Amino acid sequence: MNPFGYVQAGNDVSALSYKVQQAGSLFLAGGTCIVDLLTQGALRPPFLIDINALPLRAITLQDDNSLIIGALASNSAVAHHPSVLSGYPVLSESILAGASAQIRNAASIGGNLLQKTRCYYYRDPSFACNKRTPGSGCPAITGANRMHAIFGTSEQCIAVHPSDMAVGLSALDAAIHTESSRGKRQIAIDDFFLLPGDTPDRETILEQDELITAVEIPATPFARKSNYLKVRDRSSYAFALVSVAGAVVFEGNSVKEIRLSAGGVAHKPWRLQEAEQTLLGRALEEGVIARAMESAVAGAKTYRQNAVKVDLLKRCVRLMLHRFREMA
């Protein structure tokens, strides 16, 4: 393991100050991802800033029925919170679909968003990886790529983002609250993650000294009718081959509003906007569902081992829409 410095931040001001002073430093919360990568040698930060003393664990239902979740709230606390279970079921379902209970007890909401890819080449320092060492190459493109992306890839990287929760949040139009030395800002979750392009080592729009403080889920008419579907190699504790988070509201039998977001297929939660547009104003009849399935995979680019993801995504969209049809 690479030697590193360590400090416990007493408040957000000191946390941000340490981050500015220590170039390349990382915030440490639950550590369920960072500690693994430290021991594997895939991450070599010079400094860790422990932020667990910061008052960022509250889960608060606002007067307008939006939900504010502190960045240090545990995954378990959020998944089992009464307001989440009743008002945002896709968030609870997506969290419970990921990891073990022990990991969910330790992992934080902010850390879940920032967790690193499970690409085999990224996590093994004996291989080249543009995400870990820019300019070194991407062996996944011609190598073992069954788990890799079919959307938003580049010649530099085809890794996928591993979070189930982020996919659920995308379907809920969530926003990320941050704080830095320049002040506070709010970032729509679909703008928060970056596609690899020529800089796969930069995964979000966060700046070096910026700290996630909360996640906000707006009060929307479609949040209560929401669902998460995950396809994986085994029934528990496995990352998604493909997943779909959906939320819908009907007007009569027709779709008035809908959100569909896919996981396991891109460097970020992948909004299926063409499929959404196909469904708006229409009843969920088989012909409409079939068109939405095709729209969902438009533009997909497959590699040697992952073409199965195209068919899996189509089938997941179909099953999700059948579930919605039963709610109409």
Domain ranges of the chain: 1-53, 226-327
From residue 309, give the alpha-carbon distance in Å to each of 219, 279, 280. 32, 22, 25
Question: Do residues 167 and 263 touch, judged by C-beta distance below 8 A?
Answer: yes
N-to-C CA span, the chain: 55
Question: Do residues 151 and 140 touch, judged by C-beta distance below 8 A?
Answer: no
Residue-level pLDDT at 1? 64
What DSSP assignment string belongs to 2-53?
A: ---EEEE-SSHHHHHHHHHHSTT-EEESS-TTHHHHHHHTS---SEEEE-TT
What DSSP assignment string belongs to 261-314?
A: EEESSSSS-EE-HHHHHHHTTSB--HHHHHHHHHHHTTT----TTTTHHHHHHH
Residue-level pLDDT at 134? 96
Question: Domain 226-327's class?
Answer: alpha beta
Residue-level pLDDT at 152? 98
Residue-level pLDDT at 302? 98
Residue 322 belongs to what H/E stretch? helix 308-327
What is the chain's pLDDT, residue by residue, as a tens digit (328 residues)?
Answer: 678 999 999 888 889 998 888 889 999 999 999 999 999 999 999 999 999 999 999 999 999 999 999 999 999 999 999 999 999 999 999 999 998 999 999 999 999 999 999 999 999 999 999 999 999 999 999 999 999 999 999 999 999 999 999 999 999 999 999 999 899 999 999 999 999 999 999 999 999 899 999 999 999 999 999 999 999 999 888 999 999 999 999 999 999 999 999 999 999 999 999 999 999 999 999 999 999 999 999 999 999 999 999 999 999 999 999 999 998 8
For the domain made up of 1-53, give the CATH fold: 3.30.43
- Characterize 77-100 residue by residue with b for buried, 16 or more Cβ atoms within 10 angstroms of its Cβ, and e for exposed: bbbebebbeebbbbbbbbbbbbbe
CA distance 148 to 185: 32
Taking Cα atoms as reference points, which of 97, 115, 103 lies closest to residue 33?
Answer: 115
CA angle (87 as vertex; 85, 90 as ends), nearest 5: 65
Residues in the chain: 328
Taking Cα atoms as reference points, which of 97, 95, 98, 328 lies closest to residue 225?
Answer: 328
- Count of alpha carbons within 13 angstroms of residue 80, beta-carbon side: 7
